[in-house]
Amino acid sequence: MDKDAENTYTSIHKPPYTLIPNELIRDNTISPNCRLVLMYLLAHKEDISVMHLYHEFKRYIGKNVMHKIINEAITAGYMKRESYMSGNMKRFKYYISEKPLFKI
């Protein structure tokens, strides 16, 4: 057996926590719901769709309120929305940051 092959491993452990900056947690310029949604999004490594957000928070936050929260995050600079065309459909891509990097 190859000695190097004996010393290799694949980790299946992922840390069960996310580092969230205190600046975001304590940002009183945005609503508590906005902070919650931002922290939820930051805790995911994979892309999350807006529909996923609706389903995840539907017991507490309706679609209209979720749109307001997303717009609030964009206005505050934590999120950026870019439009693009997919066939003849207008789509949106959202970018999120743990700091208000996108503030205009």
Contact 18, 43 (CB under 8 A): yes
Q: Which of 32-36, 70-74, 82-86 has the lowest mean pLDDT?
A: 82-86
Give SS3 for 56: helix
Output the domain CATH number for residue 81. 1.10.10
Domain encompassing residue 71: 15-96
Burial zone of 73 (CB within 10 Å; 0-12 exposed, 13-18 middle, 19+ buried): buried
More confident residue, 47 or 6: 47
User: Is 2 inside any structural domain?
Assistant: no
Whether 61 is in a domain gets the answer yes
pTM: 0.80
Ramachandran area for residue 87 (φ above 0: left; ψ -120 to 50: alpha; else beta): left
Per-residue pLDDT averaged across 96-103, rounded? 92
The mean of the pLDDT values for the chain is 86
